[in-house]
Copies of this chain bind each other. A is one copy, B any other.
Amino acid sequence: MNDRFLRAARKVPVDRTPVWFMRQAGRYDPEYHALKGRLSFKDIARLPEVAAEITALPVKKLGVDAAILYADIMTPVEGVGLSYDIVAGVGPVVERPIRSTEDVRALGAFDPAAVAGVFEAIRLVKRSLSVPLIGFAGGPFTLASYLIEGRPTRTYRETKRLMLRAPDVWTELMEALTAMTVRYLEAQLDAGADAVQLFDSWAGHLAPVDYERYALPYVRRIFQALAGRPAVKIYFPGVASGELLPLLRSLAIDVVGVDWRVPLAEANRRLDGRFALQGNYDPLWLEAPPDVRRAYARTVVDAGLQAPGFIFNLGHGLYPEAELEAVRDLVATVQEYSAERLAGRRVGEGSAAGGPPAVGGPSAGAGDGPERGEAR
């Protein structure tokens, strides 16, 4: 098995930087559309063969170093008896949003049997997978925002209102989601996932003072509950989350996912160098001409290799409009360039401090430049 992803996450030397992408199995890929057909996320959660096949797709097609379970962050809420839909062009929609203590208390204890297809998909895909499998769940704040708003929002108004006006309801909801998430992730690990990522996509909408009080305690609890598991643990605090990084230092995790806005060197400083980093290529850099998008990739690799461990990813999920060829080329660029850097054969190309990546700049000769490319 190609275990570079697990090694880099654990700060163990690797011969090249592992790569995977958030939403790597998705709408940018025609084969995904063919497999998915008219099935919804909810259908697929009941069709483990399809979920397993979609999960494995990007490993074959892109050559990524990890697979991630094909599911939605809303998937587990069916296990507590909540009904939702994923509406095309909108996103997750909850018909009866949670707004009161009664709404929270109507949630049942998490029943893994209600989403048994997810765990079966993990078992199926693990039979043939040549790379580690990442399981995942939504962060409690992010999940709460979907359940409270009832649909995607730009302002998180209802979520913040509930949080500030009804802190008791908020606490009870966050505790319920925390308990659900722990059981959901444990069941994924039991089924064979090698790592878990908590996607707190929208936590960056909170001021740090609010994140620390209303969201972080539950994130902490989830990872504490998994502390005895050997699996790699990744926390992605979402977009615009740079100011939250210093608050994450004491989490029981291996890897922090970084938004494209935060330079990786700065992220590493804010995290006190404690974790491997994962990120942080702007998904829209894939739209640039080949030379330019490769130069950005080299810059990200150069910065990432200064962290205690580094996994190449995007700063957010792949957009449906991404071109398959460009995505494939990005994987190859990262794998080749990082291999050369780590072997000490090529140093500094593309690391344009204080400016955008140089396009077609001179490639440093073998062995010259500072020896920063030690194996990680």
| Chain A positions near chain B (C-beta within 8 angstroms) | 154-157, 160-161, 164-165, 204, 206-210, 212-213, 239-240, 242-243, 260-263, 266, 282, 284-285, 287-289, 292, 299, 315, 319, 321, 352, 354-357
Contact = CB atoms under 8 A, between A and B. Distances in A.
Contact of A355 (B209, B355, B357): B209
A284 B157 CA distance: 7
B156 A284 contact: yes
Contacts of A161: 284, 287
Among all A-B residue pairs, the 4 with the closest Cβ atoms: A240-B240, A164-B288, A160-B284, A213-B356
A210 B356 contact: yes
7 contacts: A156-B284, A157-B321, A160-B282, A165-B287, A165-B289, A204-B240, A207-B260
Contact of A213 (B209, B288, B355): B355
A154 B240 CA distance: 13
A164 B239 contact: no
Contacts of A285: 164
A204 B95 CA distance: 33
A169 B208 CA distance: 39
A212 B242 contact: no
Contacts of A239: 240
B157 A299 contact: no
A56 B115 CA distance: 58
A165 B288 contact: yes
Nearest to A281: B207
| Of A207, A208, A209, A240, most B-chain CB atoms within 10 Å | A207
